[in-house]
Each structure stands twice: as structure tokens, then as C-alpha cells.
Amino acid sequence: MKAKIHPRTYFNAKVSCACGNIFTTASTLQQITVEVCSACHPFYTGQMKYVDTAGRVTAFKQRKAKAQKKVISKTEKRKLKHQKKIEKELKKPETLGELRKKAKEKKKKKES
């Protein structure tokens, strides 16, 4: 066997879980941090529990709730779009004189 090619083995390596459980084992690392251990894993405890890695479960629930709030049918969308278009047309000046007045008012507001 070649010398100095194998990693160093720590026989009293500490393993700490997110639930607070700490135990020792043999490893090439001195400290190991895990999210789930035998003290909190559903297979060993018999209790169901969400294992939320990086907030994925909560992010999914938020997206689902957001999607349920904004349920609008296509006909309602078309009506809203049509109403906005009508309102936009009503805001436009009807004559060239009105358009010039608005342009002068905008110019005065910018100068002052």
C-alpha cells in the first residue's frame, strides 16, 4: 500500500443533526452536519414530517396560493382589456387645439 495517499480517518467524528441530536462515528471529516438523522427521520420515528430543503415546500405552497387568487377567465380578461382601451381613447384630445393646449401645459410644468 502506498504511503500518504489515503485521507486521515477520525474515529471520534461528531455528527450533528438539525433536530439537535449529536452522535459520534468514524469519518474522514471531524465534524459533519446533517438535516435528517435516525432520531428524526420518519422511517425510524413513524411520524410524517415535511423535510423542507431550502424552503422548497413553502415556496411551492406560496405559488399555489398565489395562483388560486388570480383566477380570471379569458372572457373577463378580454372585457378588462376592452375597457382599458376605451378609457385610453376617451383620454385622448378630440381636436388639434386641445392637443396643443396640453402640450403647452406640459412644457410650462417642465420649465417651472
Concatenated DSSP letters of 12-80: EEEEEETTS-EEEEEESSSEEEES--TTT-HHHH-------GGGHHHHHHHHHHHHHHT---HHHHHHH
Give residue 86's pLDDT band: very low, low, confident or very high (50, 70, 90). very high
Q: What is the pLDDT of residue 57?
A: 80
In this structure, of 70-74, 81-85, 94-98, the range with the lowest mean pLDDT score is 70-74
Share of the chain above pLDDT 90, in %: 35
Q: What is the pTM of this model?
A: 0.41
pLDDT per residue as tens digits for the range 18-63: 889 999 999 999 999 998 888 888 788 888 766 666 678 888 888 8
What mean pLDDT value characterizes the chain? 87
